[in-house]
Chain A
Amino acid sequence: MNKKKGDKGFESPRPFKLTHQVLCINNINFQKKSLIGYVELTIFPYLASLNKIRLNCKQCLIYRVRVNDYEAAFIYNDPTLEVCHHETKQRNLAFFSNAYAAAVHAVEADSGNGELCIKIPSELREHVEELRGLKVHIEFWLDQPKGGLQFVVPDLEGSMAERSAHVFSYGHQNASRFWFPCIDSYSELCTWKMEFTVDASMVAVSNGDLTETMYTSDMRRKTFHYTLPTPTAASNISLAVGPFEILVDPNMHEVTHFCLPHLLPLLKHTTTYLHEIFEFYEEILTCRYPYSCYKTVFVDEAYTDASSYASMSIFSTSLLHGSSIVDQTPITRKRTAKALAQQFFGCFISRISWTDDWVLKGISGYIYGLWMKKTFGSNEYNFWIKKWLTRVTDYELQNSGILLHPTFPSGKDKESPTAHLHFSTRYPHTLPCEYYKLYQAKAHLVLRLIENRISMEFLLQVFNKLLSLANTASSQRYQSHMWSQMLLSTAGFLKSISIVSGKDIQPLIRQWVEQSGVVKFFGTFVFNRKRNILELELKQDCISQGTQKYVGPLTVTVQELDGSFNHNLQIEENSTRHEIPCHSKSRRNKKKKIPLMNGEEVDMDLSAMDSDSPLLWIRVDPGMTLLRRISFEQPDFMWQYQLRYERSVAAQLEAIQALEQYPTPASRLALTDILEHEQCFYRVRLEATQCLAKVANAMVNTWSGPPAMKSLFTRMFCCKSCPNIIKTNNFSNFQSYFLQKNIPIAMAKQRDAHGLCPKEVLTFILDLIKYNDNRKNKFSDNYYRAALIEALANTMTPAVAASNESRTVEGLHPDAKLVLEEITRFLNMEKLLPCYRHTVTASCLRAVRVLQKNGHIPNEPGLFQAYAQYGIFIDVRLAALHALVDYTRVDTSSETLQWLLHLVQNDPVSFVRHKVLTMLIEEPPIFRNAESTLCTEALVDQLWKLINSGTAHDSRLRCDAVDLYHALFGQGRPACLPLPELGLVVNLKEKKTVLNPTIKTEPGAAVSENVSSTAGGKQSSVGEVVIGKEPGTGTSASQGVKRKADSPPADVTGTEGVAGRQDDDNNEESGKVKVRIRDDEEVDIDTEHDTLASPKTGLEDYPSTQGSEPLGAGQESPTTPAARSARASPGNDHHHEHRKKKKKHKHKHKHKRRHDGRERDRDSLPFLGSPASARSFNSLSMSD
């Protein structure tokens, strides 16, 4: 691939064009979790010489393929199933990530590759030469899919519909190939016709218009016919089948909502707001919603909260809520709004390649941000921007830079832009979740920067232009070459911007998009009284990780006595000092109001300030117009003024953060004032509570009066007549609701001089719980109660040392006893009267963990394990799992770690699997190879297996596992592994660990037959693809059976793995060949299909190993199905030597391979471990 995707638009990486696809699923069996169907792709060749078609397909078992009614041979190979084939002892991530990237590349549709390679029957030769259309018909069967489709079949009595059994598709990025054969690329658009035959009690929801629903002849099933005339990428196709309740949106009849049985009232309430979101987007984009209908489906065990597909979104059922729920409402609305934004940019307008993803994510994030600003106000919007800006900068500075638009040098690669990472940024499937999350955030922030540059008006015009072009293109039903207008690329986007706005934003793009890193400033200032000048010093750190140098304009806002003034500084290469003239004389005019930036004039008590200086506060880059982290130093009183009087939320938050460092009565007063200030944005006030607790703790010796916030809370929320009793709940004012919820949590963090929580605070919180009365409230208090429990947990301090055994009821500290009683009561009440989303239970579990950790109650994981099992509500499970992860870390319990890893491998809910890994990554039980009893070879093997083959069905999970491996052992070789044998070389400098795998000979027959179709010379050393091959292609079914029996139960290996296991007894490594490739683009995966099992065996063996009879003979690598690719490392003398030796070695093995263990090989041939020998060996075999 890597054809120049210049401004000329889109060039397909394939020698043919897909125009239409039929997807038909005839039967869905919930009991067996399987489905049967077929697809039919209409394609038009570009080249007369087209002889094979590559498609994407994972997991599916393919019965047969026909091209224009001729049976077609096909081969199936999926290197991602098992990334590193040979039992390498390498075990380091640099090695893995190269191999994985290569494996992904080998099947990536964006590069024109695919798992399934169909040979066009020779009868159609002429047909192709005339470039006439072909119809590729593939019948497939999917059985117990591990990814791509989630079957939810509750264990109940009754029919499937009564049990609310349902199934839906999911995936991380382009993952449609997991459930039907397709060209799984966002850039290959076509029109769709879909048919789903389901039980009469079920509804099948899919993309496009439902044209007809029809009973089957036995009247027991229904067929749903969908057509999607808008050209759409296969990756945006989805399906949900279940006994859904149907709600037609009362405001927009073309919008339909679906939920599981019994939830209709919640669905009604949840979706009341949707039409306003529609209106908003259509208004700002001045473009109507691109599809003729929209469907929202709420499913259980969802993969993510929300995922958007063409004209349809799949949400988690947990987003549903009733009218009495406060906290969930904005969250759900935000999720739905975000999903809807992605309908425009992401589904309707798709991307050309992965490197253009940032544009779509950025635009959808940006318009979603506009919606948020309109709906929740600009304070919320600024808070959100500030939050993500902080998160992005933190991540970049701590971990690695986020590169939005990576360009990969083709040809001689020297420095891949992200070579230092433990993952490849080249494919969406190789990115860690956290990285991708922040990638999207950064994309949105960059879009905001573009807005700053060219104005919102222009930016919206650009969007409108893109949409109208796409709309025009999509209506050209029969001119598929027009459809590329619906694809967006970075270049296309920039071109539109320059056309519409006439501005050149190239520098901005270069700075933030084509380059990773953020700007890091340190600022200090001095006021020069004589010259009435502010001397500002701004230093940049552009050396440490994740930073970049910034040169250009920067705004500094100075609030003086006479008003607020913006100054535009020019940041230049070398100078760090800036002189800013002040406008006001330092002498204060008496009683004069001080004008603020927004024109407001306020009275201030100016006694705190320095009498010589007219400066109230200084802000650097107040508009957040850069991706930066600024550490600015100014005296505490200036921060206090900033907190009190600056109206910008971001400034207030900065001030709060800074005041933590200044625990003085003045800070305390400023924070308290903000807390009480009703005009102040509630989130700022919440932050202030936390900060106030910290300030109070720091001032513990001088603190006078009741604990911080107590009197405030009493004044705001307690009865006038009896101040120790809280008023009956009334949450109709949400600002005070959030404050009421958060103050106790912050209060409980206070400690007295002995490091204990003041008794007064505990009593206070217990009273809050005791007198909590929600009977008159129209809102549920479940979140509030959960917050109170969290507050209780926060009061806990470590118990006087006691061992686990001696922790008895009698020995329980009285305070802990009170707390535990409350927790017990709450937890038990929840069983009888569960609250919304079981927030109270989750909070109780967290509190129990705190008690355990502080040594008040015996430290045991049993309770959490009970709550973490499948069949408990997801939020509760996650809380319990978090406690278990914490337990694993604190107690270094390998048993619990095993329990968790078992869950990762076996849990039916993929979101839970993902979350367990995420939590383990956040709190790793072993830190970067530190000494730990957990750190064993077995664990390394287990994780390696997980990465290598155990998570092949879900790239998100695989990336999580890689991340975990990285968190536990770092990038290099885990320390707990025994030292590698002599000769193993890790070449860290080149960031590619060219360890010599202990490669074995392959069966002699195969070798002699083998002709590698790839030119060995054209590859070099970026990645390594490991290709297994089956030694005896003609293996009979009986062998297959044996194989099955041999393979371990947890075997997730694919074709190759299975094949390789065949002669386990003899030699694990047999039948595997390692290919090193220099240039990904040139990998010829033709060499890989040899891995196919023989026709019948494949069927019985393993669903994904599918072959058909003609395959063996009909391949383009004619000599043998066991072809392998090889590599020569040209111009390397060392290698040459090794090659020779290796040759000998190989021959030796030809003769005695059956009895040679690997160990023996190593012993006899210590020189084996040179980097190149493996590869050179292959080239040798060729030259044979």
Chain B
Amino acid sequence: MVEASCFAVRPGRGGATAAENYFAARRRTLQVAASALLTEAGFEATEYAALETLTEMLQSYISEVGRSARALCEHTARTHPVPSDLLLCLSEMGFDVEALPAYAKRTHRIALSAPPTSHMPNTPKGLPTGQRRARPQYIPAHYPEFPDPHTYIRTPTYREPLTEYQVLRERSAAQRRDVERALTRFVAKTGPTYNLFDTDSAAFPLISCQPSPNTYLSALLPSHLAEEAASLDNRDNGITTMGDSENGHGLEAVHSSASLLPDMGVNRPGEEPPIDNPYLRPVRKPKVRRRK
């Protein structure tokens, strides 16, 4: 017989939850089944660890059967396994299905008592909110109930967006100002500064200017950040509206200037002539002097 100790609930843990009890009970049933098989096989006693291992194996076996049966049924586009699924899966696992009826009818078989009732009876209710969904029919009654709706139903919520124009502008202005101020303060603190007031060096620090070569580059080319911002918008230039220049002149211009200055490139229709400009011509190499 299986030692009683293996059934014993571990002492000192009287406070075990109902769920733990529930799982323990299932486990115990499996263990009982394993013990019964051992007894059938002629064992009289077993070490707990061995029993435990066997139970584990049993569990794995059952799980595997269930898993592959399910896989097989889903493979054939069903949701519920049929006996043939099970048979197939068992034979795939190397089990002699033919022998199964005989085994079921064996004489020395030990009848197991029904698993203890009141499994998983009362999960703590917690704070029941809302209406729990009823189980669908196909779910056996001993399966757990649906949890509270709030734990799985997602209700996207958001605050009413700020649509008030004034507030938005204010915020964006304030934010930009804060960023700028923080940035300039940082730079001012980490580099040389000029102070407008002799007495107080912290008030109104001005980042001191450094002379640099080719100042026209920074002055004329837009800074990178500004450029990025600008590239988002279409960069169509609107400058032409400044004067009342007619855009229609475009084509004419090419022709008229070509005809006015005939000695340079001659425009042949249909053929894009290469630009003939002395600055684009290749640089000639000097004649190599022959050396004796």
With contacts A732-B238, A831-B207 taken as known, whether A773 is within 8 angstroms of B197 at the C-beta atoms is no
- B205 CB to closest chain A CB (Å) equals 8
Q: Is the Cβ of B223 less than 8 Å from the Cβ of A834?
A: yes
Q: Is residue A282 within 8 Å, beta carbon to beta carbon, of the partner chain? A: yes
CB distance from B203 to the nearest CB of A (A): 4
Q: Which residues of B contact A838 (CB under 8 A)?
A: 218-219
Tell me, rounded to whole Å, the shortest Cβ–Cβ distance linking A196 to chain B: 13
CB closest chain-A residue, reference B215: A873
From 767 to 781 in chain A, residues with beta carbon under 8 angstroms from any chain B beta carbon are 770-771, 773, 775-780
Chain A residue nearest to B230 in the complex (CB): A324
Interface status of B61 (Cβ within 8 A of chain A):
no
Taking the closest CB of chain A, its distance from the CB of B191, in whole angstroms, is 9
**Most B C-beta atoms less than 10 A away, residue of A251, A321, A377, A835:** A251
Question: Which residues in window 860-876 of A have CB below 8 A to B?
Answer: 862-863, 866-867, 869-875
* Complex: A48 Cα to B148 Cα, angstroms: 123
Is B131 part of the binding interface, using a Cβ–Cβ cutoff of 8 Å?
no
A771: B residues at CB distance < 8 A = 169-170, 173
Q: Is the CB of A214 within 8 A of B260?
A: no
Within 8 A of A (CB), among B174-212: 177, 180-181, 183-184, 187-188, 194, 196-200, 203-212
Name, among A777, A824, A872, A875, the residue most crowded by chain B CB atoms within 10 Å (CB to CB): A824
A732 to B240, CA, bound (A): 11
Partner of A778, one of B204, B219, B230, B283: B230
Known: A154-B213, A252-B261, A867-B209. A857 touches B197 (CB 8 A): yes
A322 beta carbon closer than 8 Å to chain B: yes
Residues of A within 8 Å of B170, CB to CB, are 725, 771
Is B289 among interface residues, defined by CB-CB distance under 8 A?
yes
- Fill in one digit per residue for A816-830: 1 if any B CB lies within 8 Å of its CB, else 0: 000011001101110
Q: Is the CB of A773 within 8 A of B207?
A: no
Given A251-B257, A276-B245, A863-B196; A260-B223 close (CB under 8 Å): no
Assembled-state Cα–Cα distance A571/B203 (Å): 67
Q: How far is the CB of A796 from chain B (nearest CB, A)?
A: 14
Q: Is A256 an interface residue (CB 8 A)?
A: yes
Chain A residues with CB below 8 A from B279, complex form: 203, 210, 246, 248, 256
Q: Scan A829-844; emit 1 where CB is below 8 A from any B CB, else 0.
A: 1011111111000000
Expressed in whole angstroms, the Cα–Cα distance for A825 and B260 within the complex equals: 55
Contact of A722 among B165, B243, B257 (CB under 8 A): B165
Assuming the contacts A256-B279, A780-B222, A825-B184, asked whether A300 and B216 have C-beta atoms less than 8 A apart, the reply is: yes
Among candidates A777, A837, A870, residue contacting B219 with C-beta atoms closer than 8 Å: A837
Size class of the B contact interface (CB-based, 8 Å): 35 or more
| Chain B residues within 8 Å of A317, by CB | 216, 220
Q: How far is the CA of A771 from the CA of B209 in the complex (A)?
A: 28
Contact in complex: B209, A809 (CB < 8 Å)? no
A-B contact count (CB 8 A): 239
Q: Cβ of B286 < 8 Å from any Cβ of A?
A: yes
Complex formed: what's the CA distance from A807 to B196 in Å? 10
Partner of B253 from the list A212, A263, A279 (CB cut-off 8 Å) is A279
Q: A721-B165, A773-B169, A809-B197 are in contact. Are A820 and B284 (CB under 8 A)?
A: no
Chain B residues whose C-beta falls within 8 Å of the C-beta of A376 in the assembled complex = 242-244
**A262 (CB) vs chain B CBs: closest residue:** B217
* A276 partner residues in chain B, CB cutoff 8 A: 245, 249, 253
Tell me the minimal C-beta distance from B246 to chain A in angstroms: 9
Q: Closest chain A residue to B177 by CB distance? A: A770
Measured CB to CB, the nearest residue on chain B to A246 is B279
Partner of A833, one of B177, B219, B225, B264: B225
B265 interfacial contact with A, CB 8 Å: yes
Q: Does A375 contact B (CB under 8 A)?
A: yes
Q: Are A725 and B169 in contact (CB under 8 A)?
A: yes
Q: Write out the residue numbers on chain B whose beta carbons fall within 8 Å of the beta carbon of A831.
A: 184, 187, 207, 209
| Cβ of A155 under 8 Å from chain B | yes
Q: Closest CB of chain A to B189's CB: distance in Å?
A: 11
B276 CB within 8 Å of chain A: yes
Task: Give Cα distance in the complex from A591 to B30, angstroms.
Answer: 112
B212 A871 Cβ-Cβ under 8 A: yes
Q: Mask for A116-128, Cβ within 8 A of B = 1, else 0?
A: 0000000000000
- A555 on the interface (CB 8 Å rule)? no
Q: Which residues of B contact A725 (CB under 8 A)?
A: 165-166, 169-170
Nearest opposing residue in chain A for B183, CB measure: A832
The reply on A1050 being an interface residue by CB < 8 A is: no
A269 sits at the interface (CB 8 A): yes
Complex CA distance for A156 and B212, rounded to whole angstroms = 9
Residues of A within 8 A of B254 (CB): 251
Q: Mark B237-274, 1 if CB is under 8 A from A, else 0.
A: 11101111100010001101100110111000000000
**Chain B min CB distance to A286 (Å):** 11
Are B197 and A807 in contact (CB-based, < 8 A)?
A: yes
Residues of A within 8 A of B230 (CB): 324, 778
Nearest B-chain residue to A324, judged by Cβ: B230
Interface pair B233/A866, CB less than 8 Å apart: no
A708-743 to B contact mask, C-beta < 8 Å, 1/0: 000000000001011001000000101000000000
- Which residues of A have CB within 8 Å of B206? 824, 827-828, 863
Any chain A CB within 8 A of the CB of B98?
Answer: no
Interface residues on A, range: 35 or more
Beyond A375-B243, A825-B181, A837-B219, is A808–B200 a contact (Cβ under 8 Å)? yes
Q: Kindly state the separation between the CA atoms of A835 and B222 in the bound complex, as whole angstroms.
A: 7
Which B-chain residue is minimally distant from A875 (CB atoms)?
B219
B197 touches A872 (CB 8 A): no
Q: Is A215 located at the chain interface by the 8 A CB criterion?
A: yes
Contacts of A217 in B (CB 8 A): 286, 289
* Residue A164 CB within 8 A of the other chain: yes
Q: Report A-chain residues with C-beta under 8 Å of the C-beta of B194.
A: 862-863, 866
Closest to B223 in A: A833
Closest to B210 in A: A871
Contact of A248 among B188, B238, B277 (CB under 8 A): B277
- The chain B residue with its CB closest to the CB of A214 is B284
Interface membership of B281, Cβ < 8 A: yes
Residues of B contacting A293 in the complex (Cβ-Cβ under 8 angstroms): 264, 278
- Alpha-carbon separation in the docked complex, A725 to B173 (Å): 11
Inter-chain contact A377/B244, CB cutoff 8 Å: yes
Q: For the complex, what is the distance from the CA of A780 to the CA of B222, rounded to whole Å? A: 9
Q: Does A557 contact B (CB under 8 A)?
A: no
Chain A residues with Cβ below 8 Å from B244 are 375-377
Q: Does A318 have its Cβ within 8 Å of any Cβ on chain B?
A: yes
Q: Say yes or no: B234 contacts A778, CB within 8 Å.
A: yes
A378 to B212: give the CA distance in the assembly, Å: 43
Report B18 CB to chain A, min CB distance, Å. Answer: 61
Nearest residue, chain A, Cβ from B225: A833
**Which of B196, B211, B285 has a CB less than 8 Å from the CB of A848?**
B196
B280 at the interface (CB under 8 A from A): yes
Query: Which residues from A are CB-within-8-Å of B210?
Result: 871
**How far does the Cβ of A804 sit from chain B's closest Cβ, in whole Å?**
9
For A777, the chain B residues whose CB sits under 8 A away are 233
Q: Are B208 and A778 in contact (CB under 8 A)?
A: no
Residue A958, interface by CB 8 Å? no
A872: chain B residues at CB < 8 Å are 209, 211, 215
Choice from A213, A260, A330, A863 contacting B216 with Cβ under 8 Å: A260
Alpha-carbon separation in the docked complex, A593 to B164 (Å):
48
- Bound: A807/B257 CA distance, A: 66
Contact A829:B180 (CB < 8 A) given known A156-B213, A215-B285? yes
Q: Say whether, besides A773-B173, A862-B194, A318 and B220 are in contact (CB < 8 Å).
A: yes
**A-B contacts besides A732-B241, A775-B229, 13 pairs, CB < 8 Å:** A214-B284, A252-B253, A253-B265, A253-B275, A253-B276, A292-B263, A318-B219, A333-B243, A375-B243, A778-B235, A825-B184, A828-B187, A874-B215
Considering the complex of A and B, which 6 residue pairs feature the smallest CB-CB distances, nearest first?
Answer: A871-B211, A154-B213, A828-B184, A323-B237, A210-B278, A722-B166
20 residue pairs of the A-B complex, CB under 8 angstroms, read: A156-B213, A214-B283, A216-B286, A246-B279, A248-B277, A248-B280, A252-B261, A262-B217, A278-B257, A318-B220, A322-B221, A376-B243, A770-B173, A778-B233, A808-B199, A809-B199, A835-B226, A866-B194, A871-B213, A873-B219
